[in-house]
Amino acid sequence: MTRVFSGIQPTGEVHLGNYLGALRHWAEAQHENESIYCVVDLHAVTVRQDPDELRAKTLATMATLLAVGLDPDSCTLFVQSHVHEHPELAWLLECTVSFGELRRMTQFKDKSSRGGSDGVEGVSAGLFTYPALMAADILLYDTDLVPVGDDQRQHLELTRDVAERFNHRYGDTFVIPEAAIPRVGARVMDLQRPTDKMSKSTDSDAGVVMLTDDPATITRKFRRAVTDSEPEVRYDPENKPGVSNLLAILAASTSGDPATLAGEFEGYGALKAATAEAVVAVLEPVQRRRAELLEEEGYLLDVMSKGAAKASEIAADVLRRAHDAMGFVVVH
């Protein structure tokens, strides 16, 4: 059976990009494959987090995963820091990946350039080695497929390179994983700055549709979405990024095709209204369920604890295999 693994950071409110680019596909995959999903709290602390907020966001992210339809009886749901094999394997991979490979990662370049005038000097060393921890997450479960948004493509390539290098040096140890990137919705853009991806860590939320936004807020954000001065509704991401983003969101929310949908609208007003309506319809049941789950902290902790026990069983075996291959003395 195909093994699927993916992760989400508990760094803020889950947004429409996370949902259309990743979470929705996680929910579909759980019925067809053996699926394992992780709230990657160790990745979150590569940038500074307030401890009380991190705790609350980790619980809220788990509630969101359950609310989008992930079922702990059909998949494994756990929190990264509960399975100590993740940072342990990350160390072995940090010693396999090169400094140059990490330096070329665009996410590192983007996030470190937001750090102010001292640039990379002031960012954490963890932000730099982040991709090795991500590779460990994936390789620890003999993962075949990794459903992610388009922004993770480069990290997946690095994971494959590191796994191949390790296998070449030390003998067959890891399964080489593949990225599963959706055809539509893999790169939902910010509604105010349609050339930037919609992101949790952006300074203004006017262009970010949160999973917790009420219908009036969602409608307002779409009504104010930046488009262009040409009247024609056409799917052309390069020349018409704002309009194309709306068409992609509408297509992803209604299982349609962006270029075909373009022909159904005379003007931007109607397109914005239809997209807002489709998004409200998709998010409404998720929001209701999430609000209920947030009241059930005991249940969330129970899901986390059972998930960590299931994940640890697989992870311990694979880590032992990697230790053994590298020449560490393994005792039982």
Least gap, CB of 263 to ligand ATP (angstroms)? 24
200 is catalytic: yes
Structure tokens at 6: 């993916």
Q: Print the binding letters for residues 122-161 with ligand ATP: x by CB under 6 A, - otherwise.
A: --------------------------xx-xx---------
Q: Nearest distance from residue 254's CB to ligand LTN, in Å?
A: 25
The CA distance from 219 to 54, in Å, is 30
194 binds ligand LTN (CB under 6 A): no
CB of 21 to ligand ATP, least distance (A): 2
Q: How far is the CB of 231 from ligand ATP (least distance, A)?
A: 27
Instruction: Return the one option of ligand LTN, ligand ATP, none that residue 146 interacts with (CB less than 5 to 8 A, by type).
Output: ligand LTN
Asked if 64 touches ligand LTN (CB under 6 A), the answer is no
- Distance between CA 185 and CA 202 in Å, rounded? 19
Print burial letters for 134-151: b (CB count within 10 Å at least 16), e (below 16). bbbbbbbbbbbbbbbbbb
Q: Kindly state the tokens that stand for 76.
A: 């494994």
DSSP, residue by residue, 3-58: EEEEEE--SS--BHHHIIIIIHHHHHHHHHSEEEEEE-HHHHTTS---HHHHHHHH
Q: 138 vs 300, which CB is nearer to ligand LTN?
A: 138
Helical spans, DSSP H, in the chain: 16-18, 24-32, 41-44, 51-67, 85-94, 99-103, 106-113, 125-139, 153-170, 215-223, 241-254, 258-262, 268-294, 297-326
Which CB, 155 or 272, lies closer to ligand LTN? 155
Selecting among 57, 109, 111, 221, the annotated active-site residue is 111
Range 166-195, binding ligand ATP (CB under 6 A): 186-188
**111 is annotated as an active-site residue:** yes
Give me the catalytic one of 57, 197, 221, 272. 197
17, 72, 194, 241: which one contacts ligand ATP (CB under 6 A)?
Answer: 17
Site for ligand LTN contains 185 (CB under 6 A): no
Among ligand LTN, ligand ATP, none, the one that 187 touches (CB under a kind-dependent 5 to 8 A) is: ligand ATP
Among 200, 221, 240, 290, binds ligand ATP (CB under 6 A): 200
DSSP state, 197? Answer: B
Question: Is residue 249 involved in binding ligand ATP (CB under 6 A)?
Answer: no
DSSP state of 315: H
State CA 162 to chain mean position distance: 21
User: Quick one: which of 7, 17, 207, 258 contacts ligand LTN (CB under 6 A)?
Assistant: 7
Which one from 200, 221, 240, 272 is the annotated catalytic residue? 200
Q: 105-108: long-range contacts (C-beta < 8 A, 24 or more apart)?
A: 105/130, 105/131, 105/154, 105/155, 105/158, 106/154, 107/151, 107/154, 107/155
Query: Judged by CB under 6 A, does residue 258 bind ligand ATP?
Result: no
Q: Enter the tokens of residue 118.
A: 């001292």
Q: Which residues contact 310 (CB under 8 A, 6 or more apart)?
A: 76, 78
Binding site for ligand LTN (CB under 6 A): 5-7, 9, 40, 43, 134, 137-138, 146, 148, 152, 155
> Which residues are known to be catalytic?
111, 197, 200
Binding site for ligand ATP (CB under 6 A): 8-9, 11, 17-18, 21-22, 148-149, 151-152, 186-188, 197-201
